[in-house]
């Protein structure tokens, strides 16, 4: 048997061990990315083989938590991809404006920067008071940072630039207080946010959302898991609700490609297509035409 085949089996066994011992299921994550993370952790921790790593994972919860952080990749930014936020302001906010209440779900929110970005945007558009934001991730460590809203001060220069490019209407400095090497986001931005543990692999539908933001999460999933998550989002969205993905993610080749319509040029923003409503609309139109004739 070739080395590559053994390695594949060892990785399967490692993932199986993690599932049985800790309940986290990584078996449907993209294998190439997982393998990179495993190899990196092998060389950093001086462990010689993946089988040895499996033994360590089973017997050392701290090591498992390190591996969980490796697997979940928590890189994020405030107003990441500023033109996405610009498109949100210009193309989505007008549709949300007339709603009596707005429900937003950030799935895979990592350390929360995109949640605070959304809160700022909604505040500036005069919509925050009627909004409720659900910020979820399956990693408790990053959720804790989200809740605290404390970030290293050396990131603020980039975040301020992003904020300005995104069409921010105020001064970014209005939204945080600096203390030594950190900034703390204004507590008013957290007022309408609920932080919760939610695993996209195993947990279920999340309310009647008007807007779901799940950016830079699905790239780590294989096609099967992506389809599951798209179905979960479809079921969690209100009629004609919006789904926002990262710049490298798309619903185009998924099982639900007909159920979402791309609506913002150059951005991965989709509107849920309700075929029942669309059919009814066509039927109404036909009846109307008949009546007119």
CB of 141 to ligand SAM, least distance (A): 9
Does 210 bind ligand SAM (CB under 6 A)? Our answer is: no
Which of 201, 231, 238, 247 binds ligand SAM (CB under 6 A)? It is: 201
CB of 136 closer than 8 Å to CB of 150:
no
Applying CB under 6 A, among 1, 3, 5, 75 the residue interacting with ligand SAM is 75
Closest approach, Cβ 288 to ligand SAM, in A, equals: 44
Note whether 257 binds ligand SAM by CB under 6 A: no
Q: Which of 28, 74, 222, 250 binds ligand SAM (CB under 6 A)?
A: 74
**Least Cβ distance, residue 281 to ligand SAM (angstroms):** 34
Q: Which is nearer to ligand SAM, 76 or 236 (CB)?
A: 76
**Interface with ligand SAM, residue 224, by CB under 6 A:** no
Should residue 137 be labelled a site residue for ligand SAM when binding is judged by CB under 6 A? yes
Could you say which of 15, 34, 93, 110 contacts ligand SAM (CB under 6 A)? 110
Q: Which stretch binds ligand SAM (CB under 6 A): 68-76, 90-98, 151-159, 161-169?
A: 68-76
> Cβ 105 to ligand SAM, closest distance in Å?
11
CB of 139 to ligand SAM, least distance (A): 4
From the list 54, 72, 131, 236, which residue makes contact with ligand SAM (rule: CB under 6 A)? 72
Contacts of 242 (CB under 8 A, 6+ apart): 92, 95, 210, 211, 212, 263, 269, 270, 271, 272
Q: Quick check: 192 and 131 in contact, CB under 8 A?
A: yes
Q: How far apart are alpha carbons 265 and 21 in whole angstroms?
A: 45
Among 11-19, 43-51, 75-83, 257-265, which window interacts with ligand SAM (CB under 6 A)? 75-83
The footprint of ligand SAM (CB under 6 A) covers 72-76, 80, 108-110, 114, 137-139, 142, 199-201, 215-217, 246
């Amino acid at each position: 048997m070739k080395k590559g085949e053994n390695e594949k089996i060892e990785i399967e066994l490692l993932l199986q061990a993690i599932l049985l011992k800790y309940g986290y299921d990584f078996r449907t994550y993209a294998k190439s990315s997982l393998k990179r993370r495993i190899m990196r952790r092998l060389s950093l921790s001086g462990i010689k083989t993946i089988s040895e790593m499996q033994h360590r994972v089973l017997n050392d919860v701290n090591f498992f938590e390190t591996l969980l952080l490796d697997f979940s990749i928590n890189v994020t930014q405030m107003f990441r991809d500023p033109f996405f936020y610009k498109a949100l302001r210009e193309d989505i906010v007008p549709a949300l404006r007339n709603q009596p209440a707005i429900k937003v779900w950030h799935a895979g929110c990592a350390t929360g920067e995109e949640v605070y970005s959304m809160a700022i945007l909604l505040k500036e558009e005069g919509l925050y008071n009627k909004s409720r934001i659900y910020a979820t991730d399956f990693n408790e460590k990053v959720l804790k940072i989200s809740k605290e809203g404390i970030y290293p001060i050396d990131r603020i220069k980039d975040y301020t630039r992003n904020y300005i490019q995104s069409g921010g209407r105020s001064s970014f400095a209005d939204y945080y207080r600096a203390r030594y090497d950190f900034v703390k986001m204004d507590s008013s931005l957290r007022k309408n946010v609920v932080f919760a543990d939610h695993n996209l692999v195993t947990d279920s539908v999340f309310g009647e959302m008007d807007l779901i933001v799940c950016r830079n999460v699905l790239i780590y999933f294989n096609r099967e898991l992506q389809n599951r998550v798209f179905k979960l989002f479809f079921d969690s969205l209100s009629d004609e609700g919006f789904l926002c993905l990262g710049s490298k993610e798309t619903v185009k080749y998924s099982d639900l490609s007909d159920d979402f319509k791309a609506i913002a040029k150059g951005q991965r923003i989709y509107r849920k297509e309700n075929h029942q409503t669309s059919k009814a609309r066509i039927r109404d139109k036909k009846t109307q035409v008949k009546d007119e004739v």
